[in-house]
């Protein structure tokens, strides 16, 4: 696994999920390998839909961004937005995310 920052990816932009310039963003950092992308995230109170549960929109953003970076790495450097591929995702919540 390699960290995207170590691969020379510039995160000085306003992306809600991974951008460093967005003061309200999640500031995610990703590790990638040939067949995967991974990030760690600790939700704050600001990320809750109600007390004790992470808002479903935040969870969806985490999934979307992780899929995007997996595609990015597999496409050898094309940005997630321009890679020409974006998987469809559907979420059905069985229970709230703590």
Number of domains the chain is built from: 1
User: d(Cα 17, Cα 25) in Å, to the nearest integer?
Assistant: 6
More confident residue, 36 or 76: 36
What range defines the domain where residue 50 resides?
A: 2-82
> Is 71 a member of any domain?
yes
Q: Residue 78: which residues within 8 A CB-CB, separation 6 or more? A: 72, 84
Residue 93 belongs to some domain of the structure: no
Tokens of 79: 């940005």
Express each pLDDT in 49-81 by its tens digit.
Answer: 887 899 999 999 999 999 888 888 877 655 555
């Amino acid at each position: 696994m390699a960290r995207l920052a170590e691969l020379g990816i510039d995160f000085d932009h306003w992306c809600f999920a991974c951008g460093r310039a967005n003061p309200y963003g999640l500031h995610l950092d990703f590790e990638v390998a040939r067949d995967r992308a991974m990030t760690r995230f600790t939700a704050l109170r600001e990320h809750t839909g109600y007390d004790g549960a992470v808002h479903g929109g935040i969870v969806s953003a985490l999934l979307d961004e992780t899929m995007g970076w997996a595609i990015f790495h597999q496409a050898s450097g094309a940005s997630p937005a321009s890679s020409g591929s974006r998987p469809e995702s559907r979420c059905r919540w069985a229970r709230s995310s703590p």
